[in-house]
């Protein structure tokens, strides 16, 4: 049934679009909706007027209810008092249907008592009794304010009715205005982009910053380049992983250039209605031409710039029309002089080739992960507005955070500041920064484990990782071994590289696989194969991935220098025999590294037992302390692993 309904909607797209977008239908429905709303409000107002008229016409009832609570004598008691000659004076209010009774012997400070009287008694029994017993009485009707109250109430109701009617008219006008502006660009516009960010606030990506500083010079001094025949680039594409500073660079360009600045996301072009995205592109560039020279920043351009004709994703026709319009505006028959388009994406592989060619995006600036010097510069920028202790070494933090982006480093310092405030310290110390790094990498700290068999097993598992990784030549050095749970992990072992590796060797990959298998090897050698746990599940996933990469992509197996799989894990067209050989080679590499890990555990059993006891006692062993303890046992690092073919 699901497929049938989908097919029906696709078979007649024209009818579906006309139903949603017919202006006559929408205009016909709008007055009917307003008439129903006005009719409902009119009925509500009429009901309110009837209620308030009823209340005004019977004031005595409400007054009677209020006064009954304070009456001391009743009407029958009043008749008895009149006959007993205890009443000195009576004032009768026929409109209010009350009688104010003053008793004989009553003090001057005491107020007369008010007694409710039915209208039938005013000319009947009460007047007769007063005359027969010669009791002085007066008839003084109260002022009638019901007409004035009714007028004021009606005016208030009419005013409310007018306000509601005016609000309905404004909503109708706003709806029609939104319909007219549906194809307008939603880009945020600043005549002078006061982002508060300059190139001084951008660190860690010096190469990208130098490229974009030329863009600022193009905008400020175009004659410097045009005098010798150079053309201003039309587009700059910022490519890099999330969090590396692409949007920050665009803000810095806007802040430095001081020219009109348009900013929009790629997803804001695409709508479910055909033609809206293209209309918004036209409107955006029309506004940009009126304010040239200027900058247009399109964030996440892959939302609208994907390859045409691939047939995946909803609204494919609309997205392709939007992309076609963008291509035409950037480099078509009409020139866009003085307009520079800056776009950012972390998926350059899915962008259309026509969008990537020179003349549209003339420059592609890679914004990659920062190196050691770059991370230190980023930390210096984010530490300016924080109280950091003088003993804190930003270089040491940078060395401990390889692979961190600028956003990650900013998050580390922010978490450290939160820890500092929670612990009521005056400045951020290395303790808070180390805790912040651990939290960012592995998650929130949990409750320490109770000393038991489970804790000892986890300790052997983590020491197995640490000692195998340390004793395998080419492996990264140990940073920390801890039994304090973080996130889903009951224990953790950190390895931090000494230097920035641009490439990874075969020996390093083998050492990394052996280190990952060190935990499972320790469980098997100490507790037996029947007592192994699920703690090595994540390790085995990483081991399988690395070994398969060595075979199918890096050419580090007997299959030779053949690429059998790509980045998207799509299998190439190879035979079943090759697939069997791939599985055999992957298993061979894993088994070899597993045997090596078991051998290291068996040969260093005494050192492992001593380290486990120390870890259970301290719960954390730092990397430097761990290496010093190994030196006491006179354990030397073995030669790099080599698989004989």
**Concatenated DSSP letters for 310-334?**
---SSSHHHHHHHHHHHHHHHSSSS
- Select which of 211, 462, 523, 524 is catalytic: 462
Kindly report the backbone phi and psi dihedral angles of residue 295, in degrees, each rounded to the nearest multiple of 5, phi listed first. Answer: -120, 140
* Count of other CB atoms within 10 angstroms of residue 279: 19
H or E element, residue 295: strand 294-299
Rounded CA separation 518/602 (Å) = 11
pLDDT on residue 62: 41
DSSP label at residue 266: G
Q: Is 305 exposed, middle or buried (0-12, 13-18, 19+ CB in 10 A)?
A: buried
* Count of other CB atoms within 10 angstroms of residue 133: 13
Catalytic site includes residue 462:
yes
Decide which of 2.60.40.1150, 1.10.8.60, 3.30.565.10, 3.40.1190.20 is the CATH code for 372-442.
1.10.8.60
What pTM was estimated for this model as a whole?
0.64
Nearest to 246 by CA among 341, 340, 345, 339: 345
Q: Are 161 and 43 in contact (CB under 8 A)?
A: no
Rounded CA separation 32/38 (Å) = 10
Rounded CA separation 406/380 (Å) = 11
**Strand arrangement of the beta sheet that strand 478-482 belongs to:** 492-495, 478-482, 620-622
Rounded CA separation 205/269 (Å) = 30
* Count of other CB atoms within 10 angstroms of residue 618: 13
Residue 222: both structure tokens together: 């175009």
User: Is CATH 1.20.58.760 correct for 453-632?
Assistant: yes
Q: Which residue has the tokens 């996130």?
A: 487
Nearest to 366 by CA among 210, 500, 218: 210
Rounded CA separation 536/524 (Å) = 11
Query: Phi-psi bin for 251: left (phi > 0), alpha (psi -120 to 50), beta?
Result: alpha
Rg (the chain; Cα; Å) = 43
End-to-end CA distance of the chain: 57
DSSP label at residue 477: P
User: Is CATH 3.30.1490.20 correct for 188-366?
Assistant: no
Nearest to 308 by CA among 278, 279, 351: 351
User: Is CATH 3.10.450.50 correct for 59-139?
Assistant: no
Residue range 571-628, pLDDT digits in tens = 556 788 888 999 999 999 999 999 999 999 999 998 999 999 999 988 889 988 998 8
**Strand arrangement of the beta sheet that strand 294-299 belongs to:** 188-190, 261-265, 294-299, 339-345, 235-239, 363-366
pLDDT on residue 65: 42
Give whole-number Cα distances, 301 to 137, 139, 172, in Å. 94, 89, 35
pLDDT on residue 201: 77
Nearest to 262 by CA among 297, 308, 286, 223: 297
Q: Are 367 and 208 in contact (CB under 8 A)?
A: yes
CA 530, chain centre distance (Å): 46
Q: Are 277 and 315 in contact (CB under 8 A)?
A: no
Nearest to 196 by CA among 252, 130, 131, 136: 252
- List the alpha helices (DSSP H) in 221-275: 223-226, 246-257
Give whole-number Cα distances, 609 to 179, 451, 457, 467, 634, in Å. 75, 16, 11, 12, 15
Residue range 240-260, pLDDT digits in tens = 888 888 888 888 887 787 778
Low-confidence ranges of the chain (pLDDT < 50): 1-31, 56-71, 175-182, 313-315, 645
Rounded CA separation 415/606 (Å) = 40
pLDDT on residue 19: 38
pLDDT on residue 335: 64
């Amino acid at each position: 049934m699901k497929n049938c309904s989908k097919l029906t909607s696709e078979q007649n797209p024209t009818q579906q679009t006309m139903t949603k977008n017919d202006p006559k239908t929408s205009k016909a429905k709008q007055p009917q909706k307003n008439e129903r709303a006005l009719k409902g409000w009119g009925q509500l107002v009429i009901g309110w007027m009837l209620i308030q008229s009823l209340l005004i016409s019977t004031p005595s009832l409400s007054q009677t209810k209020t006064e009954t609570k304070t009456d001391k004598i009743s009407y029958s008691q009043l008749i008895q008092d009149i006959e007993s000659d205890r009443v000195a004076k009576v004032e009768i209010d026929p409109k209010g249907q009350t009688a104010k009774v003053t008793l004989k012997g009553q003090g001057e400070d005491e107020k007369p008592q008010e007694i409710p009287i039915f209208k039938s008694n005013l000319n009947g029994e009460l007047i007769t009794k007063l005359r027969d017993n010669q009791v002085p009485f007066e008839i003084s009707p109260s002022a009638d304010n019901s007409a004035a109250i009714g007028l004021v109430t009606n005016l208030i109701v009419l005013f409310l009715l007018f306000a509601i009617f005016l609000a309905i008219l404004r909503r109708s006008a706003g709806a029609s205005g939104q319909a007219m502006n549906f194809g307008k660009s939603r880009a945020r516009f600043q005549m002078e982009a006061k982002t508060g960010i300059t190139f001084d606030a951008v660190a860690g990506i010096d190469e990208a910053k130098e490229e974009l500083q030329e863009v600022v010079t193009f905008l400020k001094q175009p004659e410097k380049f045009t005098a010798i025949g150079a053309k201003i680039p039309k587009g700059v594409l910022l490519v890099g992983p999330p969090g590396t500073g692409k949007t920050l660079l665009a803000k810095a360009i806007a802040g430095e250039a001081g020219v009109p600045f348009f900013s929009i996301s790629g997803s804001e072009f695409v709508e479910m209605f055909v033609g809206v995205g293209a209309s918004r592109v036209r409107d955006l560039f029309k506004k940009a031409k009126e304010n040239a020279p200027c900058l247009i920043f399109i964030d996440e351009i892959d939302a609208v710039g994907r390859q045409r004709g691939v047939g995946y994703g909803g609204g494919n026709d609309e997205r392709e029309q939007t992309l076609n319009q963008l291509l035409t505006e950037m480099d078509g028959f009409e020139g866009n002089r003085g307009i520079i388009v800056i776009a950012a994406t972390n998926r350059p592989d899915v962008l259309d080739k026509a969008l990537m060619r020179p003349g549209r995006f003339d420059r592609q600036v890679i914004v990659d992960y920062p190196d050691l010097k770059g991370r230190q510069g980023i930390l210096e920028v984010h530490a300016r507005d924080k109280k950091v202790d003088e003993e804190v070494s930003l270089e040491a933090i940078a060395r401990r955070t390889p692979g961190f982006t600028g956003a990650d480093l900013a998050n580390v310092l922010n978490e450290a500041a939160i820890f500092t405030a929670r612990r009521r310290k005056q400045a951020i110390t290395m303790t808070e920064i180390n805790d912040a790094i651990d939290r960012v990498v592995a998650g929130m700290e949990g409750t320490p484990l109770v000393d038991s068999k489970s804790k000892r097993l986890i300790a052997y598992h983590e020491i197995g990782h640490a000692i195998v990784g340390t004793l395998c030549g080419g492996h990264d050095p140990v940073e920390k071994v801890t039994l304090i749970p973080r996130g889903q992990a009951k224990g953790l072992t950190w390895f931090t590289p000494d230097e920035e590796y641009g490439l990874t060797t075969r020996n390093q990959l083998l050492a990394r696989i052996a280190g990952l298998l060190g935990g499972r090897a320790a469980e098997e050698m100490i507790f037996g194969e029947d007592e192994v746990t699920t703690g090595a599940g994540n390790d085995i996933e990483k081991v399988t991935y690395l070994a398969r990469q060595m075979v199918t992509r890096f050419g580090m197996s007997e299959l030779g220098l053949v690429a059998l799989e790509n980045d998207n894990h799509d299998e190439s067209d190879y035979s079943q025999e090759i697939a069997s050989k791939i599985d055999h080679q992957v298993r061979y590499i894993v088994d070899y590294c597993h045997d090596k890990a078991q051998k290291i555990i068996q040969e260093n059993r005494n050192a492992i037992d001593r380290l486990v006891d120390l870890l259970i006692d301290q719960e954390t062993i730092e990397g430097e302390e761990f290496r010093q303890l190994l030196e006491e046992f006179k354990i030397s690092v073995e030669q790099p692993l080599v698989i004989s073919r």
